[in-house]
Structure 1
């Protein structure tokens, strides 16, 4: 809850932390922490996901428990990129108590899907993700681990 004398919205101009009542970090706001060249590389690489992202949005279904991540009403109509792609390694096994000794990659990363742009996106984004991973290790070591 905001103090009575505060404005409900405030544009942040400098680095900031947004904390909850227990002083847990909710948001790290670090403008310019990622260099302009890296920001441009990330955006350019995202274009490789345009096709697989587009395939995740159903034509017309009522919003429900099974499609809340990809329902068309949840995306801006004029967005350049919209959809949801899961590229987590062994994502299915992560939700189970017994993990297979041979976890499988996400379906979008499997060899027979090599032409879909997702593998290329992962490969091209390696340097940017390494930088962001290092930042996460410093800012939130428990979550990083």
Structure 2
């Protein structure tokens, strides 16, 4: 298990993840919750974590089983599914026919025929305070969101103006930005974890949105939501959770070693086990064909 520096914000994420995991396990196993070290977690965050854990436990106890086997379905897909061949789509449709529509109204998990959880449905998982916190953080990025909208190439649909709509009350600025303390640039030849000089092919850097004094405020504003999302992952996918923890710590040590002070600053204060956060406001997703995904089996 990775050792997380106590003075890093990620350590509070670790404590939050352990708290959610403990409450979740205690609830589904019907045993008392053990006393735990809450570190610097404030009371509002602890209340939010408890609510998250309870909703997840409720969902886990309310399984909705589908007939589809996701492993077999995945094996049936080619590496480069285009989604444009009617014959191919019909073949997949016949092999894996969709089931009748189901409307979920309470916290639930959707599982396949092999008992694998493929969807967590968690209405009510976020407290009002957390939602206000997220709204406030988003509002503070209005300038970045506004300037992210493009008007030129329609192929850049992720940020094209035609795919966004104005908030009715004007409280949310449409846009789409990516934020990362260690942004991995595309088009680099070397892959894998950095163990060489940053000038020698491996060059993650602080994303543009976090550069400057305003970037410090953004990192801080995202801390509580990063803790909540990461704590949920501690239960949903522990292997991915711990891999994210290790990646963040190793990146921080790498940044410190090569005196990348700005990157190290943000990594010390980054609470999410995910390396990138996408802020998307009021997007209309155009109809597209998604490779490797049969539209009949999308669950929204």
**Shorter-chain TM-score range:** 0.7 to 0.9
Aligned counterpart, 2:161: 72
Q: Which moved more, 1:67-76 or 1:12-21?
A: 12-21
Aligned counterpart, 1:106: 207
Q: 1:24 Cα deviation (Å)?
A: 5.2
Q: 1:120 Cα deviation (Å)?
A: 1.6
1:49 matched to 2:141: yes
Deviations 1:18-64 (A, max 9, x none): 45677654432111112111111111221011110110102x22311
Q: Is the 8 A contact 1:46 1:121 kept in 2?
A: no
Q: Distance in 1 between matches of 2:187 and 2:116?
A: 25
Q: Is the 8 A contact 1:18 1:27 kept in 2?
A: yes
Aligned counterpart, 1:63: 154
Aligned positions, number: 134
Q: Distance in 2 between matches of 1:88 and 1:107?
A: 9
Q: 1:124 Cα deviation (Å)?
A: 2.1
Aligned counterpart, 2:298: none
Q: Point out which structure has higher relative CO (alpha carbons under 8 A, 6+ apart).
A: 2
**Which ranges of structure 2 fall in alignment gaps of 5 or more residues?**
1-96, 199-203, 244-300
**Which ranges of structure 1 fall in alignment gaps of 5 or more residues?**
none
Q: 1:9 Cα deviation (Å)?
A: 6.0
Aligned counterpart, 1:85: 177
Structural RMSD (CA): 2.7
Aligned counterpart, 1:130: 227
Q: TM-score if structure 1 supplies the norm length?
A: 0.74
Q: Distance in 2 between matches of 1:136 and 1:94?
A: 26
The structure that has the greater radius of gyration is 2
Q: 1:76 Cα deviation (Å)?
A: 2.1
State the secondary structure of the residue aligned to 2:178: coil
- Taking structure 1 as reference, are residues 38 and 24 closer, same or farther at Cα in structure 2, changes over 3 Å only? same
Q: Is the 8 A contact 2:167 2:174 kept in 1?
A: no
Q: Distance in 2 between matches of 1:49 and 1:135?
A: 25
